[in-house]
Structure 1
Amino acid sequence: MTKIPFYQVDAFASKPFEGNQACIMPLEEFLPDETLQAIAAENNVAETAYIVPTGEGVWNLRWFTPAVEVPLCGHATLASAHVLFNELGFEGEAIHFDTVKSGRLVVRKLSSGALEMDFPSAPIKEIPVTDEVARALGARPVQAWGGMFYAARFETPEEVKALTPDLKALKDLGAPGEGWDRGNFGCFAAGGAEVDVTSRFFAPGSGIDEDPATGSWHTMLARVMSERFEQNDLKCFQAYPGRGAFIDTRLEGDRVKLIGTSVTVIEGQFTL
């Protein structure tokens, strides 16, 4: 029998039952891919992250939803750093994560206790809103962009909060262009209660109907808001029913800083 340390963390949260759930599992080396995917399906939260030490302050990092391995995940990166800093006693100034498709990601602890992640922010392109997308979302966005995901802008936060998309139809849609993920839609509007932007993220293409807190989406949202509203520093709210998450972003060239806090809610062992 193999026992693997297991931490379930609410990421981008100040207390339990906020933000997004991630399971963090420290390993000495990566298990076979099919085993990693099976464990993530068993955990059945938005993301399971596996971390393997490779040097002083350096870990390899991979992320799996219950259905697929993903190229970038913000909330599970934040949760991984939270576990290393707060549960496993890492005392360095910064944690360096090496990833397969997103390069090196650096996470630093701020004096406030929050963690600041340094992520890439890919280029975006404004695209037309098609009738097919409007029908699947159940409302017509006023603007749309393609990039890492499909970004749909609405006029008011209330419209975003009221969305009830056809997830089956949405799964097969996306922005035109090679390399842009299908079935992953960020919907947003400027404004909200004491925030600069309110959004939701629907991800049936990644095996998740709706994600409660999505760091990778905010790397795109930061660029869209900068180009559309000339705002490089944002206070963001992701409005998932019953949870919700606050994420601060700062766009710096082709990188974006994502800032948030996390809490550990479960600690134990996963037995194989």
Structure 2
Amino acid sequence: MTAIPFYQIDAFASQPFEGNQACVMPLDGFLPDGTLQAIAAENNVAETAFIVAKKPGHYALRWFTPAVEVPLCGHATLASAHAIYTHLGFDGEEIAFETVQSGVLKVRRLSDETYEMDFPAPKVEKIAVTEDVAAALGAWPLEAWGGPFYAAVFGTPEDIEELKPDISLLKTLGVSGIGGNWERGNFGCVAPGGADGADLTSRFFAPGSGIDEDPATGSWHCMVAAIMGPRLKRPLDCYQAYPGRGAKIGIELIGDRVKLRGDAVTVIEGKFTL
């Protein structure tokens, strides 16, 4: 039997029960894909991150939901950096994560113990709002954008908080656009303003990735930065309004890159036995 170190971390959270859950599991080498997917399904949190050390401060990284491997995951990258700094003894200036589809992602721990991630800014384009999407969301957006996901822009934070989408309908929807098909069944919703001085409030529904609603989504906030950053032209404090949890995510669009900032806290430490 093999025992794999296991850390469950609340990412984009300053205390337990906030943000989004991620499991981080350091490996000597990646296990077969079917085994990685089975472990993620067993963990049954939004993402399980598997990391393999290449050299000090440099890791290979893959992310799995309980259902699929994903090309980019912000909160599990933050959780991985937190595990490396907090539990694996790294004290360097920056961690580099080598990924399959998103290139090299860099994370550093700031002087206030929060983390800053450097991600690629996605290409986005404005698209028409359609009746099928409005019906699935249960509300008509002011704008719609395409990119890695379908983005719906609303007028107020209350619009976002009151959304009660038809998840089964959302899962079937998707449109053709930049680089081929945007991921079917993955919808972000955002509006200006929010509680405690937030610049933006959002939610993210991801039945296409096996998650009805995600509590804190870094990859979605890269798209938020690409859409809203050029309008406001400054760092933005975002609140992802998942019912019962909530997450604070700092974003800043700098050229073709996005800075994502947030906290993380470990809630479980142990071993996963195969």
The aligned length equals 271
Q: Secondary structure at the match of 1:270?
A: strand
Q: Does the alignment pair 1:222 with 2:225?
A: yes
Q: What amino acid does structure 2 have at the position aligned with 1:31? A: L
How far has the Cα of 1:176 moved from its partner? 2.7
Q: Secondary structure at the match of 1:213?
A: coil
Q: What's 2:118 paired with?
A: 118
Q: Does the alignment pair 1:131 with 2:131?
A: yes
Q: Secondary structure at the match of 2:250?
A: strand
Decide whether the 8 Å contact of 2:229 with 2:252 is kept in 1: no
Q: Does the alignment pair 1:171 with 2:174?
A: no
In 1: Cα distance, 2:99 partner to 2:87 partner: 22
Q: Secondary structure at the match of 1:93?
A: coil
Decide whether the 8 Å contact of 1:147 with 1:175 is kept in 2: no
Q: Does the alignment pair 1:204 with 2:210?
A: no
**Percent of aligned pairs sharing the same letter:** 67
Q: What's 1:155 paired with?
A: 155
Decide whether the 8 Å contact of 2:19 with 2:247 is kept in 1: yes
Q: Secondary structure at the match of 2:176?
A: coil
Q: What amino acid does structure 1 have at the position aligned with 2:8? A: Q
What is the RMSD computed on CA atoms of the aligned residues?
Answer: 0.8
Q: Secondary structure at the match of 1:181?
A: coil
Decide whether the 8 Å contact of 1:195 with 1:235 is kept in 2: yes
Decide whether the 8 Å contact of 1:105 with 1:119 is kept in 2: yes
Decide whether the 8 Å contact of 2:67 with 2:209 is kept in 1: yes
In 2: Cα distance, 1:213 partner to 1:182 partner: 19
Q: What's 1:270 paired with?
A: 272
Structure 1 length as normaliser, TM-score? 0.98
Which structure 1 segments of 5+ residues have no match? none
Q: What's 1:50 paired with?
A: 50
Q: Secondary structure at the match of 2:225?
A: helix
Decide whether the 8 Å contact of 2:174 with 2:181 is kept in 1: no
In 2: Cα distance, 1:97 partner to 1:64 partner: 15
1:190 aligns with one of 192, 201, 204: 192
Decide whether the 8 Å contact of 2:175 with 2:181 is kept in 1: no
How far has the Cα of 1:230 moved from its partner? 2.9
Decide whether the 8 Å contact of 1:145 with 1:175 is kept in 2: no
Could you list the per-position Cα deviations for residues 124-145 of structure 1 after superposition, in whole angstroms to 9, with x for gaps in the alignment? 0000000000000000001010
In 2: Cα distance, 1:231 partner to 1:158 partner: 24
In 1: Cα distance, 2:84 partner to 2:55 partner: 14
How far has the Cα of 1:175 moved from its partner? 3.4
Structure 2 length as normaliser, TM-score? 0.98
How far has the Cα of 1:149 moved from its partner? 0.6
Could you list the per-position Cα deviations for residues 17-64 of structure 1 after superposition, in whole angstroms to 9, with x for gaps in the alignment? 000000000000000000000000000000000000112210000000
